[in-house]
Structure 1
């Protein structure tokens, strides 16, 4: 009897997940629900918590749960995901400790000018301290963002 072992190609999974995406880093001392409430009001988004997307990382015999909020644009095939980058003393992306939240935009609708406009609008949200466009190729732990 032959046992067939299937191995997940993590590099291909990461490449497929991040195809046609933009990743924004946000620094803010606000809670995720406070910040998303303001973003929803000012940018006319509709972020809501999706408990099914919550990311759990286990470190040092402890589990850390990172909330993910989402919204889908009704007029095109673009999905938005808003991740907490920290939970207690742990980080979803440890290489980005100065970033509190990550906003991932999936879909091929947005062009560079649209993203620049979104970044400019996001900078006007009162609870936002810093906004930067991140290059996913430079992120070491991007597998942590895949749900």
Structure 2
């Protein structure tokens, strides 16, 4: 009797997950919960930590946990995910070591002008030092963002 082995098509998984998404890089020395609180207060979002989305990476026989905050816009079918890009001395996306947080916007509602407006609003948040739109094509470790 032969056993059937199924192989996960990572390229298709990545393509499906990142369909209709925008990714922002945020630089801030604040802790994730402090920054999310400030964003919630100033921009009227409702980010909450979602422990079930926490990303666990194992490297060098050690485990690293990257927190993910989530906000679902009720009227626009848009989900916002705010990832911590570092845990101790490890990075969720090692190619973006200079970025502290990643903000993934998932859904068809947001167009380029909406993202640009959000970036401008984020630049006025007291704890934010820098915000930039990231090109997903240049990110090597996209699989690390998929929960």
Q: Shared fold by TM > 0.5?
A: yes
Moved over 6 A (4+): none
Question: Are residue 44 (structure 1) and residue 51 (structure 2) matched?
Answer: no
**CA deviation profile, 1:52-111 (whole Å, cap 9, x unmatched):** 000000001100000000010011110000000000000000000000000000000011
Residue aligned with 1:63, SS: strand
Aligned residues: 147
CA RMSD of aligned residues (A): 0.4
**CA deviation profile, 1:11-34 (whole Å, cap 9, x unmatched):** 000000000000000000000011
Separation in 2, partners of 1:142, 1:7:
18
Unmatched segments (≥5 aa) in structure 1: none
Residue aligned with 1:23, SS: strand
| Residue pairs, 1:100-139, within 5 angstroms | 100-139=100-139
TM-score normalised to the size of structure 2? 0.99
Residue aligned with 1:19, SS: coil
| Residue pairs, 1:55-94, within 5 angstroms | 55-94=55-94
